Amino acid sequence: MRFAGIDIGSRTIKLVAVDEAGQMKASFLADTGFDPITAAKKLLAEVSFERIMATGYGRNLFEIAFDAPTVTEIKAHATGARAIFPEARTVLDIGGQDSKAISLFENGKVKKFEMNDRCAAGTGKFLEIMAKTLGYDLEAFGREALFAENDLNISSMCTVFAESEVTSLIAKGNNRREIARGLHISVIRRAAGMINRVSSEGDIVFSGGVAKNPCMAAFLTDKLGRRVLIPENPQSIGALGAALLALEKKASA
Amino acid sequence: MSETYRPMWEQLGLDLQSHDALLGVLGQSYKDIYLTQKNRPEGMSYFDFVMSEVHGLRIKELLDEKAEGRKIIGSYCVFVPEEIALAAKATLVGLCSGADFAMEEVDKILPRNTCALIKSSFGFKLGKVCPYLESADLIVGENTCDGKKKAYESLGHLVDNLYVMDLPQVKSEEGKALLRSEYKRFKEAVEQLTGVSITVESLQEAIQTVNAKRAALYRLSSLRKADPAPISGLDALLANQVFFYDNPARFTESVNTICDELEKRIQEKQGSFPEKTPRILVSGCPQAVPNWKLPMIVESAGAVIVGEESCVGERGTRNLTDDSGETVEDMMEAIVDRYFQVDCAIFTPNPDRPQHNLEMSDDSKADGVIHYGLQFCQPYLMEAIPVEKALEEKNIPCLRVETDYSMEDVGQLKTRVEAFVEQLR
Ligand code: SF4
Ligand code: SF4
């Protein structure tokens, strides 16, 4: 028997299926596009399951369309991160358009959390737009930033202002790698602020699409002096958590 | 209600078209938010009626009082003592409002980073949609936060009957002396307005009237300790909001009637929500009618609000005034004593408020506290941090939210509140 979790984010939809022992058996990803429910339907056709739980910003749409239970991103990410790193007490998730830091009690329950406010500053979307402005693809963006020799300070956190700041830095002949580094550091500064508000020590599990960027993990370690753990499939942690919660619900039902 | 009251509104100088629009929105959101609730106490029908007549019958009553020679005083803060108004045969009404209105006009007078409460008060004036404001013979502003202090300077150009009360910011002897002299000045101003001198009897009676009103709400809030909670947070907030508009005696009676019913419900273990529903205390900025945004989100996320540490709530209603004084001076001093205990965030330092949050969480058996801060409200947003710290030291989870009256952040707020509720389960 299988249990599924679906994480409907603003940019991508993730679907994970687990078996009765909670082992991940399948994982899918698709673009959310303009119509999350149609996109979700397509993904659902890929797996069979006993019960499903939805999370992510589109969870309520899913709840209405499929009459499925929901859980917030916070609890889903906490649960997913613990499944992979059972000792984890701090989770950072940076997704397409949101970011959050969560601290956990020893037993895995959520202790405290922080989320970014209304705009895309400090999220995957920010990095994506900045990469484009600098003329890098996403992968090169992170890699090149790691090679930069000097720090360059980017003061704007707002996507629109940062874009024009970057344009003028390029025009002034600044090194592209250094600009890339500065942009990463500005996102890290914000993430570190969120983490510090919820927890002050111990390893940090880093999930979400942005965790795939090697530069981010390296800078985060530098900035906080804490070990950063990245799950194999960082984007699917929320969906995994939801799937495990669907399983748990079954067990208690 | 609209047809019968139109001439009255016109006479008050309201902009009928805007006013219709406002009532339309108000009626709709009341229906959506309040009337869809399940397991409401029957006594809430009184408040449904009050809300349906909030710009109708109640205004007519006020105008009838005026015709008989009473004066109407409008206020924006719980520091303006109703006792003094009543003793001099004036009626006090709250003017704070909880909805954005005429925002383009407001933006011409106030900077963008002004809290929603202040903006809304201006919006209701500029949009000519508040019959309370337009009925008032005297509008009392007070020097509390910087936002209000400066805003009254601008309001002074829009109305010709503004009276500004100075208020202390420190709970010292000097601070108390200031409050004493300001209340004395206010008493004289009210006496001058109504032409009625306050006597021992009238002041005592006024104190008793207001005490009864506060005691009734206090009784209501104690009943919310029960699990299952016999009344929703939305309904209890409404009672606290209507406190500022209604006829005092009738309000007291209606709240007590609800309390009788709640006592029965408690005995029968009947609740507005099932037993063991996560319980939340809301603390922070006042929530004026029709600002029901946060409680609506909280209670649709499967939690119940069991108390408001707020001026529209316990901060405004706890502590009664001693009515045993034998002279007007004695009783005026008792009034000063009572109000000087209000722990508004404009005071510095303000150690009573974190303490009070701890006491209230304990009393109301709250599982967690949501600190409600209006965007740009420096006093409460700053104080949210020490409040949160005090709570967390006692292992009471706290979520700080910062929002305004717009609906634009509802999705995000919902996620945060839902996650907080999950945390409490
Ligand atoms: S919060 Fe402070 S300023 Fe506002 S009504 Fe209450 S006491 Fe007055
Ligand atoms: S909410 Fe804050 S900023 Fe607004 S009037 Fe009250 S104290 Fe002032």
User: What pLDDT does residue B1 have?
Assistant: 52
The residue to which tokens 């300790």 are assigned: B225
Neighboring chain B residues of A117 at a CB cutoff of 8 Å: 412
More confident of the two residues A33 and B119:
B119
**Binary contact (A112, B408; C-beta < 8 A):** no
pTM: 0.93
User: What pLDDT does residue A158 have?
Assistant: 80
Q: Give tens-digit pLDDT for A126-157.
A: 898 899 999 999 889 989 998 888 888 888 87
User: What pLDDT does residue A118 have?
Assistant: 61
C-alpha Rg value of chain B to the nearest Å = 21
Cβ atoms A185, A177 nearer than 8 A: no
pLDDT at B338 over 60: yes
Q: Give tens-digit pLDDT for B59-88.
A: 999 999 999 999 999 999 999 999 999 999
Cβ atoms A238, A45 nearer than 8 A: no
Q: Give tens-digit pLDDT for B22-50.
A: 999 999 999 999 999 999 999 999 999 99
Q: Give tens-digit pLDDT for B140-179.
A: 999 999 999 999 999 999 999 999 999 999 999 999 999 9
* % of chain A with per-residue pLDDT over 70: 98
Q: Give tens-digit pLDDT for A27-52.
A: 999 999 899 999 999 999 989 999 99
User: What pLDDT does residue A253 have?
Assistant: 57
CA A32 to centroid of ligand 1, rounded, Å: 46
CA B293 to centroid of ligand 2, rounded, Å: 17
Cβ atoms B314, B221 nearer than 8 A: yes
More confident of the two residues A161 and A135:
A135
CA triple B344-B361-B176, angle to 5 deg:
25
Query: Token pair for residue B102?
Result: 């005429």
Neighboring chain B residues of A97 at a CB cutoff of 8 Å: none
pLDDT at A220 over 90: yes
State the smallest CA–CA distance between residue A18 and chain B in angstroms.
Answer: 22
Q: Give tens-digit pLDDT for A149-160.
A: 888 888 887 888
pLDDT band of residue B379 (cuts 50, 70, 90) is very high
Closest listed ligand to the CA of B404 = 2
Q: What is the pLDDT of chain A when averaged over all its residues?
A: 91
Pocket test for ligand 1, best of B117, B118, B121, B144 (most atoms within 8 A of CB): B144
CATH number of A1-85+235-253: 3.30.420.40
Residue closest to A63 by CA, chosen among A87, A27, A36: A36
CA triple B44-B47-B310, angle to 5 deg:
95
Q: In whole angstroms, give the CA distance from residue A139 to residue B131.
A: 62
Q: Does domain A88-230 have CATH number 3.90.79.10?
A: no
- Domain ranges, ordered by start, for chain A: 1-85+235-253, 88-230
Q: Which DSSP letter does residue B233 get?
A: H
Q: Give tens-digit pLDDT for A169-210.
A: 988 888 899 999 999 999 999 999 999 999 999 999 999 999
Pairs across A and B, CB distance < 8 A = 33
CA B54 to centroid of ligand 1, rounded, Å: 23
User: What pLDDT does residue B241 have?
Assistant: 97
H helices present in B304-409, as ranges: 314-317, 328-339, 352-363, 378-393
Q: Which residues contact B77 (CB under 8 A, 6 or more apart)?
A: B140, B142, B144, B148, B311
B→A interface, C-beta within 8 Å: 397, 408-409, 411-412, 415-416, 418-419, 422-423
**Binary contact (A72, B422; C-beta < 8 A):** yes
DSSP conformation letters of A71-126: --HHHHHHHHHHHHSTT--EEEEE-SS-EEEEEE-TTS-EEEEEE--SS-TTSHHH
The residue to which tokens 């659902």 are assigned: A44
Using CA atoms, how far residue A150 sits from A47, A63, A126, A127, B168, in Å, is: 48, 49, 22, 19, 53
CA B237 to centroid of ligand 2, rounded, Å: 19
Q: In whole angstroms, give the CA distance from residue A128 to residue A149.
A: 22
- Which residue is closest in CA terms to ligand 2's atom 3? B377
Q: Give tens-digit pLDDT for B346-362.
A: 999 999 999 999 999 99
Are A1-85+235-253 and A88-230 in the same CATH fold? Answer: yes
ipTM of the modeled complex: 0.87
A93: burial class by Cβ within 10 Å (0-12, 13-18, 19+)? buried
Query: Token pair for residue B169?
Result: 């910011």
Best mutation target among A7, A55, A74 (most B Cβ atoms within 10 Å) is A74
Using CA atoms, how far residue B408 sits from A118, A157, B282, in Å, is: 9, 21, 21
User: What pLDDT does residue B313 have?
Assistant: 96
Q: Is A141 helix (H, G, I), strand (E, B) or coil?
A: helix
H helices present in B140-289, as ranges: 146-155, 173-194, 200-223, 233-242, 248-267
Cβ atoms B299, B278 nearer than 8 A: no
pLDDT at A249 over 90: no
What's CA A188's distance to the chain center, in Å?
13
Q: In whole angstroms, give the CA distance from residue B304 to residue B280.
A: 6
Cβ atoms B283, B396 nearer than 8 A: no
User: What pLDDT does residue A138 have?
Assistant: 86
Cβ atoms B161, B139 nearer than 8 A: yes
Helix or strand run (H / E) with residue A155: none
Residue of chain B whose alpha carbon sits nearest to that of A118: B409
